[in-house]
Structure 1
Amino acid sequence: MKNTFLKRVISSALALSLAASCGLTAFAAESGNQVTDLSAEVIDASNRENAYSNYVKKHADAARPQKEVIINGADFVKFGDGAVITKETVDGEPNVMKWANQVGTVDFKVNVPETGWYNIEAKYEALNNEAGGNTTSVEFALLIDGVCPYTTASRITLPKRWVNKTEIQQDVRGNDIRPGQIAVECWQVSPFKDTDGLRNEALGFYIEAGEHTFTLQSQKAQFALAYMKLFNETKPAPYVAPDANEIQNSHAERILLEGENATYKSDRTLFPTADRNSYLTSSANGQSPTKTRYNTIGKDNWNKATQAATWEVDITTAGCYKIGIRAKQDSMRGMYSNRRLYIDGVVPCAECEQLKFYYDTSWQLTVPSIGEEPMFFYLDAGKHTITLEAVPGEIGEIMGDIDEIVYQVNSYYRQIRAITGPNPDEYNNYDIKGSIPGILDRFKEYSESLRAQMKKIEKLSGTGGTEAVTLDKLAIVLDKCVSKADRIPNMMSQIKDNVTSVSSWVNQYREQPLEVDMIEVLTDDQEFTECDEGFFKSLGYGFKAFIGSFFEDYNSLAEDDEEAMICWTSLGRDNATVIQTLINNDYNPTAKTKVNLKLVQGGIIEATFAGKGPDLALFMGGDFPIQLAARDVLVNLKKFDDYDEVMKRFAPQAGVLYEYNGGCYGLPVSQTFPMLFYRSDVLSQYGIDPKTDLNTWENLLKVLPTLQRNYMEVGLILPVGSVISPVTEAGNTFASMLLQKGVNYYSDNLDKTNFDTQEAIDSFDAWTKFYTTYSFEQTYDAFTRFRQGDMPVLIQNYTFFNQLTVAAPEIKGCWSFQPIPGTKQEDGSINHASCSVGSAALIFSKLDEDKQKDAWEFIKWFTSDETMTSYGNDIESIVGTMGRFDTANLNALEQLSWTTNEVSLLKNQMLSQVEIPVIPASYGVTRGLINAFREVVNNAENARDTLFWYNKDINDEITRKREDLGLNS
């Protein structure tokens, strides 16, 4: 403990010394860091005040005016910040506002006659761009008189309308081909809803009487607006059964709606899905035990609040109808999913606000009912719509309350850690109770609240609590803290582990997954289709599936065609299936030479030299492209006339990773680069502004003492992994610092390194000092440390965003990202350069000239704006935000599910990248640098001398490799 404390004091002193040498001795005093109030109450007030739940509680007693206020879209008073807005007629709707791009703001003047609580509804048409992209929903922030009322209002979402691009077709093997999803432009009416999945009702706004300015601030707002309406939602009345004679006298043909044939959806993720587990599964193409049948909709893709699917039903005879839904929820054991039922866009009765679909591994029939009696709904002859919308139900507010507890306990955890350090001395009395006033009362309150929420969950699920036992475990730990306050420092790991467990549990059980097989609309004299499987039929179906598995080639992604070019990829099966579907639908029908995709895991070099390799390959990264190019088995893409034009799709230096001996042997497909992630809620407590205090390495060192005094860390890209990469990792700190000084790794002809320059020595010294002088950690769990807040500044590849968004909902709105720290240049600008890693599309030289041209056309198509956008959105729709595609295509990046601000930050970093060439001896360079790093950090060697000696070995390896390949002749 004493050594650790002494080390931190020394590191803080050194950092302050550096600040003083830069003329910044007054930094701490000026920022007020010495007098920051770190009590949990202050933290709560500053970071959670703008939560929607608090906003609702604050205005719970507000009046609900019944008078509506219409705000015509064409009545905007001004627009700016790059918005392209006009007044015109759109799809037959005259005099509307058309917002033709995705940036800027627009203002409306609104006269509100009565103070109170209002919902807001919009009539809008989501617009596609010229390429058919802009595949995300309409997104914008709503500001009232220049202020966003609460955090959820900063991301208002209006959904697009998605339809199947084609009917479900079959390939030559008899397997269904999943249709693509396209957005159709049409007018829709929708209230502003809570997409966080915490509340069933539409978002509300407290507005005082008088004139106000409503500002729509674009996140991705490309749409036409007819009007916005201030109103108050009317709750549907309880169900009233039609007259018994009317029910009994209703007769019509059975109506069956296949789930996969939904007329339209609110989200592109609601595409047809496949179920081969049961012979009962209904399908227009007939169920098969061996073939792929896209015969359902939903599964885990239909799990978020506000996602909706709509089926159109043609009623030939007016009368009273009952509705049965064959569905399955097999993801959340002990719980149920919720759906709101609309008929013709209206919830017919209060009981349809929340239909419950309970956990079961088999198909279940759910019928809107009162007790045992099904509800009947009168439908006129003609076309009607039936819509199922995912809603949180009672569990939503419970999860919101648990999120709040998790956040608050984490806040206290950081305060305890700031007192005790990461490794508390079990014999030291830290007086946590006296140092953090009110902590025991709050822990008792949280414990009681957790148990109250657990009882609610038990009541909802009808179980004995096994599904929510995670909450009880955290409550027990908090009880121990209250009863044995002097032992709190020794229970920090228990607090941390149980908070993590609760967060993971909440993340899983807040979802609303559901798979729908079919919907039946029947009259009283008809019975719903049976859902119980017959034993012998089920046995026979399973036997056929078993026998078929010996003969069916489930790894084949395309039909056999001797003339087709063979393309290999080593991605996962979901990714490969998406690619093959795109090829089948969009490329092969018009291509001179078709392409068949094969899913192959590794062995491409060996297969190529054995004469059994592919004609093309996708997503080839690391040093594979250069190793293959050095052995003359790839086509130099610079030979094609339009090469320079095609490369404009990517960042200026993206192709450097695939260049060898004057040629380029790969077309960029993916590109991953670093960003600086920060916890805004934590940093604000210490007066740290990320945009100015973390924008350079120099400024980062100035705020380091403040963080380390409170036992918080800064995380850099990990310098040492279990396996040394053959190429430089994206965002490597030494590489970033060197590149920002205008020096790359190698000489112009790539025959030696530049590690003997003063810039390299200074960069290597600064890199190692982070670990020797400032005690940075060489290994850490980035996600857990950032989530807990004890590592509030972190440099990671930008795809870290995906993990945080999905797996850490309790800190939503409490973090952001920006370009990595840079180096100030002589002209005052800041250079944020770093290096990337990526993957490419390759063409193998075994093809003849004509086929090489055909292969070039294919990889041009695959890396085009349209295909990269479709691939990225399709794969995200299957695996969720966690699988968001790290495309190398600049325009495609804008069409993925990033907001305008996020895209701007990413492109700024992307365009700042300076790539480090990959050479045949790259493995020796990374190995030598890591060994030099270890010598300095672990063995206290001199940085300059160590780099000098290891650089000799590195250059010797480069020379040897060049001689082997005949590059020095």
Structure 2
Amino acid sequence: MEIAWNAADYSRADNSDVRMLHDYEGQPGPSLYTGERGGVEWTVDVPKAGLYHLSLLYYPVEGKSSTIERSLRIDGYLPFEEAAYLQFDRIWGNTKDELEQDNQGNDLRPKQSERPGWREAVVRDSDGYVREPFQFYLDKGEHVLTLSASREPMVIHSLKLFHQAEPPTYDQVKQQYEKDGILPTTGILLEIQGEEAYAKSSPTLYPLSERSSASVSPYSPSKVRINTIGGFNWRLPGQWIEWELDVPETGLYKIGFRTQQNFVRGIYSTRKLSIDGKVPFEEMSRVPFRYQSGYRNDILGGEDPYLFHLEEGKHVLRLEVSLGEFAPLIQEVENTLLNLNAMYRKILMITGNSPDEVRDYRVEQRIPELLDVFEGESRRLRVIAERLKQLAGQSSDQEAVLRTMADQLDEMVDNPDTIPRRLNAYKTNTGGLGTWLQQAREQPLEIDAIYIASPDRKLPSKGMGAGTKVKHEASTFFSSFFIDYNRIGNITDAADQRSVTVWIGSGRDQANTIKSMIDETFTKDTGINVDLKLVNMGTLLPATLAGQGPDVAMQIGNDLPVNFAMRNAAADLTQFSDFGTVADRFRSSALVPYQYSEGVYALPETQTFNMLFYRKDVLNEIGVDVPQTWDDVANLLAVLNKNHMAFGLPVVAQAPDQWTTLPPNSMYATLLMQAGGQFYRNNGLESDLDSKIGIEAFKKWSEYYTDYKLEREYDFANRFRTGEMPIGIADYTTYNQLTVFAPEIRGMWGFVPVPGTVLEDGTLDRTVPSGGSAVLMLDQAKDQEAAWEFMKWWTSDETQTGFGREMEGLMGAAARYPTANIKALEQLPWPVDDFENLKAQFQWVQGIPEVPGGYSTGRHLFNAFYRSVIGQVEPREAIMDSVQYIQDEIYNKQKEFGQLQEQGGI
């Protein structure tokens, strides 16, 4: 039975950007545009009770380039937890059909752009644990279906409730071939290059360059050639790649792939194969690609290959990442991990972080279900480990983690009195289980070519012999003597061309992306060439002193611009007539660290600040709310201490070496700024930390560690994941880490603005300091106008948005770019509710100024903290001693660089 209805026939829209569209993108009749917030309801009359699948015919309209997310409620309720996280893919492809090369003869990675089209998607599990589409039980009668948006807009034409038949087995299909008289073809071999993919579900699935093997095509031992697709980027459940096939003759074919799967041992990478939107037979819903070093030919079915009936003409072949037979096992381990973490928190509430080894806590009596849970989870882990061994065909390190955890659980069941002293090992093993869970979900596979062949044809094996491998290694070795790996993309070769030399100190992926954007837009539009070099930024100062530095340095720390400016080594950007317009791209707080002596010596690239992260489930368990003020924090600390849990304040850590500038601790800066204090007075000639406000802020900061015993150094992500630190203040980019690092607690946590200080008028001051990176023009730049054009281009709305999306497309959500550009930040793919919280905190961000000698502030503030907290020196005395050192250093630097005379002394 099938029940279909038009999306335009909705019964209600709740706070949603909804509008009607007619004959949209070739789809006749009305369609419904739904924005990235609010919900839409449809009332559906179901004539017969039963289980139904749900599908949507949708069009992914332009948004922020991320996956579309919706939640589904039926009659006002979530039918099950997974229905809160439904995903609908965007469609991506190469922007240009032909590959381009730089002037060194290297292929350039093709840029990915959206290729939207109408697609029908059946609602399924975005995590991949449930292989089949979701089924919803509906009674006979009227029901209300509600789709609520959490990220990205989409256009919906129609919805459908139906029952999707399961694909037949290969034996059934084979019998049908014989019955219909379908015969194998002969003498046909089609080769489709992997990098020529027709469409992908993500911009991360761009074609790759493989230089480690001579078996790929096209091949070069010295030049960059785009010749494969997939790899580690193609690893997450639900990601798919499609290729277009042009079959010359109707009949039966075998299908093979030239692949490399040297990523995961112990388990295998699994793919679901479909042709023209349908799985040909049941075995293709879980195609295994086992581990092997190097490239090989994988024929579906092995020595007795599966045969596929293909009609003459064009077809679309899709491979989709699937967890296959591992899906239920991984889900079981996730459930085990959640149960073990819950037990860990309960034990922690009794014993604390450092149990007394000679005390009998009797945890098994105070937590009656403890031993039953341990015994049940141990049994479950052993069953999973045995099943993994069967699937892999051998023992592996994949099952070792599970057996180690099971062994410890058994020992704790046998000797309950040892549980408290085993707590650290227990925590370590559950952390290992979490890492296993993350890695087991990853199913990478790299594809060089796809073969559609008659059963009588052999697949080519060029480049796989031992002699070819030796020749390849020798060629790459000799080529390495002549290639400058520091130079990225096009190189300026004409002496009369305007050019800018730019140094970047981040990774090669970032450098390649930036260079590609430079060649595509900046050089093309301005005629100015950019020589981009990937270097260690520690060489910037000596290179500048030697006259060998760049014109522009990118992604440098907050402290460098003023240090260069006081030495007349950085260019004052206020000299350019359009500086004011460019500065308006950023919040004024982002420019503060780069201001010196009425000039501005850098433009902000990134700007980061703290947010308050909290575990919703744990705070509900202990019955507390998210704190709004520091008084609320004090009350919360009492509850957390009672339950032996911790509150995380920004880590108080020493600089890794004497050459690294230690910024002032962000927690102290928060307390200081919320109280109306400042770091420097008298135009930066003196430290203001010895003021009444500065001393009171330091005292309050120290007391969190002396009176409340908070920890100074810790791994926030790990402790937040287990729930022993269910709330803490951390840099907002921690959000990206948690999204990828701890998928098992998705939906159980959130972040909000930091607690504030109540002002006299009753409002809350939530001020936080910011950090970040900048782009700097050196004073020795030969063509400062050209360098300024580059800096304007790089910090522009379009470039920053494009780079942010490219990096997230390249490396996933963990690489979400914390741009300082206000408009660009709004265009990055944040979930709506989370971005609203981020924007609320952004209103309270302040920059910390940099002054000559200011590098001593963070270091001496750290020393004062340790004298007060560890040395038990009275806080006022500790900070006053340190301020004297800071004053001396500022005075010496001001004197050295002539600032005292210019500003009239102190």
* TM-score (normalised: structure 1): 0.89
Q: Judge conservation of contact 2:255–2:450 (CA < 8 Å) in 1.
A: yes
* Per-residue CA distance 1:412-450 (angstroms, 9 max, x = gap): 111112111222222211111210002111111111000
Q: Say whether 1:831 aligns with 2:765.
A: yes
2:737 corresponds to: 803
Correspondent of 1:658 among 567, 590, 594: 594
- What is the deviation of 1:729? 4.3
1:141 corresponds to: 71
Correspondent of 1:548 among 473, 479, 482: 479
| Aligned counterparts of 2:396 and 2:781: Cα–Cα separation in 1 | 64
Go from structure 1 to structure 2 and tell me whether the alpha carbon gap of 1:610 and 1:903 turns closer, same or farther (over 3 Å shift). Answer: same
Q: Judge conservation of contact 2:124–2:134 (CA < 8 Å) in 1.
A: yes
Q: Say whether 1:699 aligns with 2:622.
A: no
- What is the deviation of 1:161? 0.6
Correspondent of 1:159 among 84, 89, 114: 89
| Residues 774-813 of structure 1 aligned to structure 2 (within 5 Å) | 774-813=708-747
1:599 corresponds to: 534
The AA in structure 2 aligned to 1:354 is R
1:353 corresponds to: 285
1:445 corresponds to: 376
| Aligned counterparts of 1:865 and 1:554: Cα–Cα separation in 2 | 30
Q: Judge conservation of contact 2:345–2:724 (CA < 8 Å) in 1.
A: yes
| Residues 154-553 of structure 1 aligned to structure 2 (within 5 Å) | 154-166=84-96, 167-239=98-170, 240-241=173-174, 242-243=177-178, 250-251=185-186, 253-283=188-218, 287-369=219-301, 372-530=303-461, 533-553=464-484
Go from structure 1 to structure 2 and tell me whether the alpha carbon gap of 1:101 and 1:963 turns closer, same or farther (over 3 Å shift). Answer: farther
Go from structure 1 to structure 2 and tell me whether the alpha carbon gap of 1:553 and 1:953 turns closer, same or farther (over 3 Å shift). Answer: closer
- What is the deviation of 1:731? 6.7
SS of residue in 2 equivalent to 1:365: strand
| Residues 649-798 of structure 1 aligned to structure 2 (within 5 Å) | 649-690=585-626, 694-723=627-656, 729=663, 732-747=666-681, 749-798=683-732
| Aligned counterparts of 1:342 and 1:730: Cα–Cα separation in 2 | 56
- What is the deviation of 1:599? 0.7
Q: Judge conservation of contact 1:164–1:182 (CA < 8 Å) in 2.
A: yes
SS of residue in 2 equivalent to 1:341: strand
* Per-residue CA distance 1:860-880 (angstroms, 9 max, x = gap): 221223222222232233333
**Stretch of structure 1 that moved more, 874-883 or 459-468:** 874-883
Q: How many residues are treated as equivalent by the alignment? A: 890
* Per-residue CA distance 1:84-143 (angstroms, 9 max, x = gap): 5333331022444443643333232233333333322111111115xxxx1102122223
The AA in structure 2 aligned to 1:463 is Q
Q: Judge conservation of contact 1:731–1:796 (CA < 8 Å) in 2.
A: no
SS of residue in 1 equivalent to 2:436: helix
- What is the deviation of 1:857? 2.1
Go from structure 1 to structure 2 and tell me whether the alpha carbon gap of 1:641 and 1:252 turns closer, same or farther (over 3 Å shift). Answer: farther
**Stretch of structure 1 that moved more, 796-805 or 636-645:** 636-645
- What is the deviation of 1:152? 2.6
Q: Say whether 1:907 aligns with 2:843.
A: no
1:940 corresponds to: 872
- What is the deviation of 1:542? 1.6
SS of residue in 2 equivalent to 1:511: coil
Go from structure 1 to structure 2 and tell me whether the alpha carbon gap of 1:739 and 1:375 turns closer, same or farther (over 3 Å shift). Answer: same
Go from structure 1 to structure 2 and tell me whether the alpha carbon gap of 1:88 and 1:251 turns closer, same or farther (over 3 Å shift). Answer: same
| Aligned counterparts of 2:411 and 2:767: Cα–Cα separation in 1 | 49
**Stretch of structure 1 that moved more, 510-519 or 729-738:** 729-738
* Per-residue CA distance 1:474-530 (angstroms, 9 max, x = gap): 101000111111111121122111111121122112211110111011223322222
Q: Judge conservation of contact 1:673–1:731 (CA < 8 Å) in 2.
A: no
* Per-residue CA distance 1:812-838 (angstroms, 9 max, x = gap): 222221111111222332221111111
Q: Judge conservation of contact 1:726–1:926 (CA < 8 Å) in 2.
A: no
| Residues 854-869 of structure 1 aligned to structure 2 (within 5 Å) | 854-869=786-801
Unaligned runs of 5+ in 1: 1-66
| Aligned counterparts of 2:434 and 2:734: Cα–Cα separation in 1 | 18
Go from structure 1 to structure 2 and tell me whether the alpha carbon gap of 1:428 and 1:757 turns closer, same or farther (over 3 Å shift). Answer: same
1:918 corresponds to: 850
2:755 corresponds to: 821
Q: Judge conservation of contact 2:655–2:662 (CA < 8 Å) in 1.
A: no
1:52 corresponds to: none
| Aligned counterparts of 2:184 and 2:452: Cα–Cα separation in 1 | 16
Go from structure 1 to structure 2 and tell me whether the alpha carbon gap of 1:666 and 1:98 turns closer, same or farther (over 3 Å shift). Answer: farther
- What is the deviation of 1:642? 2.9
Q: CA RMSD in A?
A: 2.1
**Stretch of structure 1 that moved more, 858-867 or 748-757:** 748-757
Q: Say whether 1:570 aligns with 2:505.
A: yes
Q: Judge conservation of contact 1:193–1:306 (CA < 8 Å) in 2.
A: no
Q: Say whether 1:635 aligns with 2:571.
A: yes
| Aligned counterparts of 1:537 and 1:945: Cα–Cα separation in 2 | 73
* Per-residue CA distance 1:282-330 (angstroms, 9 max, x = gap): 22xxx01121111111111000111000011122333322211111111
| Aligned counterparts of 2:34 and 2:798: Cα–Cα separation in 1 | 19
Q: Judge conservation of contact 1:141–1:219 (CA < 8 Å) in 2.
A: yes
**Stretch of structure 1 that moved more, 588-597 or 729-738:** 729-738
| Aligned counterparts of 2:144 and 2:488: Cα–Cα separation in 1 | 55
Q: Judge conservation of contact 1:726–1:923 (CA < 8 Å) in 2.
A: no
Go from structure 1 to structure 2 and tell me whether the alpha carbon gap of 1:798 and 1:783 turns closer, same or farther (over 3 Å shift). Answer: same
- What is the deviation of 1:697? 1.2
| Aligned counterparts of 1:919 and 1:151: Cα–Cα separation in 2 | 53
1:625 corresponds to: 561
SS of residue in 1 equivalent to 2:447: strand
SS of residue in 2 equivalent to 1:374: coil
| Aligned counterparts of 1:860 and 1:145: Cα–Cα separation in 2 | 52
* TM-score (normalised: structure 2): 0.95
**Stretch of structure 1 that moved more, 768-777 or 928-937:** 928-937
Q: Judge conservation of contact 1:301–1:877 (CA < 8 Å) in 2.
A: no
The AA in structure 2 aligned to 1:713 is A
Q: Judge conservation of contact 2:59–2:116 (CA < 8 Å) in 1.
A: yes
Go from structure 1 to structure 2 and tell me whether the alpha carbon gap of 1:940 and 1:340 turns closer, same or farther (over 3 Å shift). Answer: same
**Stretch of structure 1 that moved more, 257-266 or 233-242:** 233-242
Q: Judge conservation of contact 2:35–2:149 (CA < 8 Å) in 1.
A: no
* Per-residue CA distance 1:580-600 (angstroms, 9 max, x = gap): 122122222222211121011
Q: Judge conservation of contact 1:127–1:185 (CA < 8 Å) in 2.
A: yes
Unaligned runs of 5+ in 2: none
Go from structure 1 to structure 2 and tell me whether the alpha carbon gap of 1:112 and 1:857 turns closer, same or farther (over 3 Å shift). Answer: farther
SS of residue in 2 equivalent to 1:366: strand
Q: Judge conservation of contact 1:761–1:944 (CA < 8 Å) in 2.
A: yes
The AA in structure 2 aligned to 1:412 is M
**Stretch of structure 1 that moved more, 174-183 or 106-115:** 106-115
Go from structure 1 to structure 2 and tell me whether the alpha carbon gap of 1:494 and 1:953 turns closer, same or farther (over 3 Å shift). Answer: closer
* Per-residue CA distance 1:901-942 (angstroms, 9 max, x = gap): 122222222232011111122212112212221221112222
| Aligned counterparts of 1:440 and 1:822: Cα–Cα separation in 2 | 43
1:61 corresponds to: none
| Aligned counterparts of 1:549 and 1:120: Cα–Cα separation in 2 | 56
- What is the deviation of 1:727? 6.0
1:846 corresponds to: 780
Go from structure 1 to structure 2 and tell me whether the alpha carbon gap of 1:78 and 1:647 turns closer, same or farther (over 3 Å shift). Answer: farther
Go from structure 1 to structure 2 and tell me whether the alpha carbon gap of 1:706 and 1:459 turns closer, same or farther (over 3 Å shift). Answer: same
